[in-house]
């Protein structure tokens, strides 16, 4: 239930703020509670994925794309998280979300998690937007041409190599 409140808080904060640009960084802050821990004494991997979804909500509501009527569904096509250091109970986390690129089909987001000034984890998400089951291109959403960062380029090459092995 706490995630619902965290999500609502993130949405309300960006909805009552000035509209942000698609390339702006969106920041959320959390404190790790005992309910976040699961069976370990540190923040488990599944909670990072939940925080990344809250960051995506903040992006789509902060840019006003969520209420634009251009899409009705978002689907995650791929995500990856690299865990660098454990986050302990009651530590504060700063979570940033940024759109770092897009191609003809997908949007690519980068999520960073900091404890103090130290990077604790970094995540990448590949996401598609749909309207009535049909793809909405990033060009339609953002009115910008394709742009991919070197990080996304190599990530996509890795995905293709995995696909080719099957």
pLDDT in tens, 73-111: 999 999 999 999 999 999 999 999 999 999 999 999 999
The pLDDT confidence band at residue 51, using thresholds 50, 70 and 90, is very high
SS3 label, residue 1: coil
**Segment holding 120, helix H or strand E:** strand 118-131
Q: What is the DSSP string of 80-101?
A: EEEE-S---TT-EEEEEEEEEE
Tell me 9's DSSP state. H
How far is the C-alpha of 56 from the C-alpha of 97, rounded, in Å?
A: 7
Q: What is the CATH number of the domain that holds 89?
A: 3.10.129.10
pLDDT at 1 exceeding the cut of 80? no
Number of domains within the chain: 1
Q: Do 123 and 55 contact (CB within 8 A), yes or no?
A: no
Question: Where does residue 24 rank: exposed (0-12), middle (13-18), buried (19+ CB within 10 A)?
Answer: middle
By residue range, what is the domain housing residue 33? 2-164
Give the pLDDT of residue 147. Answer: 86
């Amino acid at each position: 239930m706490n995630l619902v409140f965290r999500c609502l808080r993130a949405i309300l904060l960006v909805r009552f703020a000035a509209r942000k640009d698609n390339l702006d960084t969106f920041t959320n802050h959390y404190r790790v509670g005992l309910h976040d821990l699961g069976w370990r004494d540190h923040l488990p991997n599944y909670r990072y994925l939940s925080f990344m979804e809250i960051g995506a909500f903040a992006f789509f509501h902060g840019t006003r794309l969520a209420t634009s009527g251009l899409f009705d569904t978002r689907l995650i096509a791929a995500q990856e998280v690299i865990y660098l250091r454990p986050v302990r109970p009651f530590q504060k986390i700063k979570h940033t979300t940024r759109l770092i690129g897009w191609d003809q089909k997908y949007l690519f987001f980068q999520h960073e998690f900091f404890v103090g000034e130290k990077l604790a984890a970094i995540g990448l998400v590949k996401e598609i937007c749909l309207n009535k089951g049909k793809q909405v291109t990033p060009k339609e959403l953002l009115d910008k041409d394709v742009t991919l960062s070197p990080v996304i380029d190599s990530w996509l090459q890795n995905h293709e190599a995995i696909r080719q092995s099957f």
